[in-house]
Homo-oligomer: A and B are copies of this chain.
Amino acid sequence: MREREEPWEPPLLMVTVDLVILTLRASVLQVLLVERGIEPFAGCQALPGGFLSDEKEDLHAAALRELQEETNLDASRLHIEQLGTYGAPERDPRGRILTVAYLAIAPGLPEPVAGTDASGAAWTPVDRVLSGQVRLAFDHRQIFDDAVERARTKLEHSPLATKFCGGEFTIAELQGVYETVWDVKLDERNFYRKVQRIPGFIEPTGADRRAAKGRPARMFRAGPAKALHPPLTRPEGPHAEEES
């Protein structure tokens, strides 16, 4: 082992921060991708990100900054968490570049982002990437897969789903999040009771929402809970088992 105490000059590396930003638009799970303008992988789709810039900037702050530049949303409605760091030697043809990947969840953003710094950014349905119809640069496919798997798992144990909704939402909308991300169909009635029984998950605002048809639905907001006890378990099925 190379002791860090040795009088030896450690190698210097370049580090990027890349983002997997997921949102729900028109009941479709989408990810923000940018088209690369130059080599390597020119013309290819890639995750938004950039080099870790300021020597005094915290890693998490850097991710948040990039996220805001892409989506210009207030941080309070956003969820962001570190996904992992990717450091395979050949992941970038330009040389050894580490990337710290972040997963972000945003409520349905109005229109494809434009006019911001990140021109060329566009929402892309997640299944188009998962199915291979859209190819990603570098090892971004790997990062993307990990991100989707992380999101799916965290929906079970954390109140993450509320981050896909706005500040207020109906239970049916919340169920829609679960159904879309998990790609399953859930029973509305059992979901309704189950979700409300989890302490601190959601709390009623008192308001109703009336749609074009049907009985008005009660509105809820996210509660204080940081974890779901008991968890909302994903219905089992012919699932490939994954774990790190």
In the assembled complex, A145 has its CB within 8 A of some CB on chain B = no
A157 to B231, CA, bound (A): 12
Measured between beta carbons, the chain B residues less than 8 angstroms from A213 are none
Number of interface residues of A (CB under 8 A): 55
**How far does the Cβ of A242 sit from chain B's closest Cβ, in whole Å?**
7
Chain B residues lying within 8 Å of A49, measured Cβ to Cβ, are: 4
A104: shortest Cβ distance to chain B, in Å?
A: 13
Residues on B with beta carbons closer than 8 Å to the beta carbon of A5: 36-38
With A89-B56, A242-B226 known to touch, is A98 a contact of B15 (CB < 8 Å)? yes
A12: nearest residue on chain B (CB-CB)?
Answer: B12
Q: How far is the CA of A5 from the CA of B48 in the complex (A)?
A: 12
Give the docked Cα–Cα distance between A175 and B36 (Å): 52
Cβ of A117 under 8 Å from chain B: yes
Interface residue? A241 (CB, 8 A)? yes
| Chain B residues in 8 Å Cβ range of A226 | 241-243
Q: Which residue of B lies closest to A59 (CB)?
A: B87
CA distance A5 to B16 in the complex (A): 12
Q: How far, in Å, is A102 (CB) from chain B's closest CB?
A: 10
Q: Which of A52, A69, A81, A86 has the most CB of B within 10 A?
A: A52
Tell me the nearest residue of chain B to A55, going by C-beta. B96
Q: Is A184 part of the contact surface with B, judged by Cβ < 8 Å?
A: no
Complexed CA–CA distance, A87 and B51 (Å) = 14
Binary flags per residue of A96-129, CB closer than 8 Å to B gives 1, else 0: 1010100000000000000001100000000000
Interface string of A196-211 (1 = CB under 8 A from B): 0000000000000000
Q: Is the CB of B11 within 8 A of A55?
A: yes
Q: A212 near B: Cβ within 8 Å?
A: no
Tell me, yes or no, whether A13 is within 8 Å of chain B by CB: yes
Contact with A59, one of B51, B85, B95, B118 (Cβ below 8 angstroms) = B85
Contact indicator A1/B117 (Cβ below 8 Å): yes
A-B CB proximity, top 4 nearest: A59-B87, A12-B12, A10-B51, A226-B243
Using a CB–CB cutoff of 8 Å, the interface residues on chain A facing chain B are: 1-5, 10-16, 36-38, 48-53, 55-60, 66, 69-70, 81-82, 84-89, 95-96, 98, 100, 117-118, 157-158, 225-227, 229, 236, 241-244
